[in-house]
Structure 1
Amino acid sequence: MKRTWHAANWFFSINLFLLLAGSLHGISGLAKEDVTTAPIVVIDAGHTKSHPGALGAEGVYEVEYNDNLVAQLVKPLAEVGVKVILTKQPGEEISLERRAEIANIDRANLFLSIHHDSAQPVYLNQTTFNNLPAYKTKQPIAGFSIFISTKNPQFKKSEEFAELLGAELLKLGRKPTLHHAEKIAGENRLLLNPTLGIYQFDDLIVLKKTSVPAVLLEVGVIVDEADEKYVSDKDNQQHIVHAIVNAIQSFNRTE
């Protein structure tokens, strides 16, 4: 569904820019390891201001959720000795191909794209929230999902990280959403691991054009009112960040 950006929602902005201060593209602090030996992880905040992604239950576009969570990942990853490279800053326009290119040029150990999920129009009601346009599900559709591509030359390593990530998210009491496997228009994805919510989605550009292990995470379903509240909660965000960091640390130990 094509959507345009709405400028009225800035509830993430102040914390976001404070969190991102000092973390320019290609640069991050390293607390425990020298830059020459540190594993490199490229973190991609999905979407841009001009292509903001899904419109959630509270009238906020997906790009703001993505930018906010990515900002919170930078410091804890640096603290465990990971060199973090961000594909973009909030408000920056960047193509899908360029996101993949950054990981390839920097020879990253891992590429992780962060997104927040929606559902197909058949499951959505168009509504408003605080006089803003919004979408809400007609029935509960909640949870995380993880995508990998067999067109990625490091598919097996991508799958390995996807499994580690799914396992960490399960520890939070989260469950995967399986709606992407439904045999309807826009879905019908091959579900590789229903327990861990891992799907095969071969033609996602940021996965298939990346030459390093690459995974796309849909953190939660922002058109589901309950799930949107979960992913918007600051404590839950910290738990999600911790789960992602744990998965990356476990993956780096196997490299």
Structure 2
Amino acid sequence: MLPRYLQARSAQAFLCLCAFFIGAAPCDAAEVPRTADKPFVIVIDPGHTPKQPGALGVKGIHEVTYNDALSAKLAKALQGPGVQVVLTRAPSEEISLDGRAELANVRQADLFLALHHDSAQLKYLTKTEINGTPAYQTVRPIAGYSIFVSQLNPRFAQSQQFAKLLGQELLALGRHPTLHHAEPIAGENRELLDAKLGIYKFDELLVLRKTTVPAVLLEVGVIVDAEDEKYVADNAKQDAIVQAIVAAAERFQH
């Protein structure tokens, strides 16, 4: 016989899986209360896929490569007693945006974190080549991280709470936000909720609005900026970024 809290979670998981297969609305993770015995579940979403590799950086490397590398390090660093880490995909796998959100909902995650690496609008980029490989580079410095939350997420308050903790830890690391997404130009014009911490409101981001758990998207750095790409590609800097995220997750958990 399963303990009562596991029986409740098993029943909830079954209902969620049923909803997933019949196309019903995602389950609300808030329906199952956390207990001392329930692990803290973190879903890490490496942005993009091999077939849709994302932004092309200054070294001719697509964003998905950076996302996968950092996600693997973060998953390893987060895993520990009382914490369960789930990756939405392996580096070779394809998954839809809906599938990422559905996975977090079915797993009744306590936190969903999407990891991306940033670019800029074409007006700020020049096309170059690296050993015959196409690449893009900024025409002026655009560097730093960005954090996004969606007010359409039913756990917006908690999403914003983690976003603030994450911004604080990144600032403590010496990173600073890039504010270019707030520029009043086509493709940007995002509302800044906290300029100091680099937190934006982007309601329509699908992986944020379709998750029913606290959800945040982090743009780690700008890979079309030569200096910022050098920063986020450095092994020691990656480790420091991972530790900043871990510290924010630990503060959020407690």
TM-score range, shorter chain: 0.7 to 0.9
Amino acid aligned to 1:249 = E
Structure 1 match to 2:182: 181
Structure 1 residues 94-139: Cα deviation after superposition (integer angstroms, max 9, x where no partner): 0000000000001000000000000000000000112210000000
Asked if the contact 2:38/2:82 (under 8 Å) is kept, the reply is: no
1:1-46 alpha-carbon deviations (Å, 9 max, x no partner): xxxxxxxxxxxxxxxxxxxxxxxxxxxxxxxxxx952200000000
Q: Which amino acid aligns with 1:127?
A: T
Name the Cα RMSD after superposition: 1.1
In our comparison, the structure showing a higher alpha carbon Rg is: 2
Matches within 5 A, 1:187-206: 187-206=188-207
The change in CA–CA distance for 1:39 and 1:223 in structure 2 (over 3 A counts) is: same
Is the Cα contact below 8 Å between 2:56 and 2:135 reproduced in 1?
A: yes
Report deviation, 1:80. 5.6
Q: Any idea what SS the aligned residue of 1:79 has?
A: coil
Determine the structure 2 residue equivalent to 1:152: 153
**Structure-2 residue corresponding to 1:98:** 99
**1:118, 1:80 → 2: CA distance?**
36
What does residue 207 of structure 1 align with?
Answer: 208
The residue that corresponds to 1:241 in the other structure is 242
* In structure 2, C-alpha distance between the alignment counterparts of 1:73 and 1:211, rounded to whole Å: 22
| Deviation of the 1:161 alpha carbon | 0.2
Counterpart residue type for residue 146 of structure 2: S
- The CA deviation at 1:76 is 1.4
Q: What number of residue pairs does the alignment pair up?
A: 219
Q: Segments of 4+ in structure 1 off by > 3 A?
A: none
CA distance in 1, matches of 2:83, 2:238: 20
- Matched AA of 2:140: Q
1:68 offset after TM fit, Å?
0.4
Matches within 5 A, 1:25-40: 36-40=37-41
Please show how residues 27-176 of structure 1 align to structure 2 within 5 Å.
Answer: 36-79=37-80, 81-176=82-177
Q: Report the counterpart of residue 33 of structure 2 in structure 1.
A: none
CA distance in 1, matches of 2:198, 2:158: 17
- Supply the distance in 2 between the matched residues of 1:143 and 1:134 (Cα, whole angstroms): 19
Between Structure 1 and Structure 2, which shows a larger proportion of helix residues? 2
- For 1:46, the aligned partner's letter is G
C-alpha distance in 1 between matches for 2:79 and 2:37 = 14
User: After the TM superposition, which residues 244-255 of structure 1 pair with which residues of structure 2 at under 5 Å, given as runs?
Assistant: 244-253=245-254
Return the offset for 1:81. 3.5
- Measured after TM superposition, the shift of residue 168 of structure 1 is 0.3
Report the TM-score, using the length of structure 2 for normalisation: 0.85
Task: For 1:172 and 1:42, locate their aligned partners in 2 and report how far apart those are by CA, in whole Å.
Answer: 23
Structure 1, unpaired ranges of 5+: 1-34
Shift of 1:221: 0.1
**Percentage of identical aligned residues:** 60
Tell me whether 128-137 or 199-208 shows the greater mean CA deviation.
128-137
Structure 2 gap segments, 5+ residues each: 1-35
Aligned to 1:160, the other structure's residue is in SS state: helix
Cα distance in 2, alignment partners of residues 231 and 79 from structure 1: 25
Distance 2:210 2:37 in 1: 25
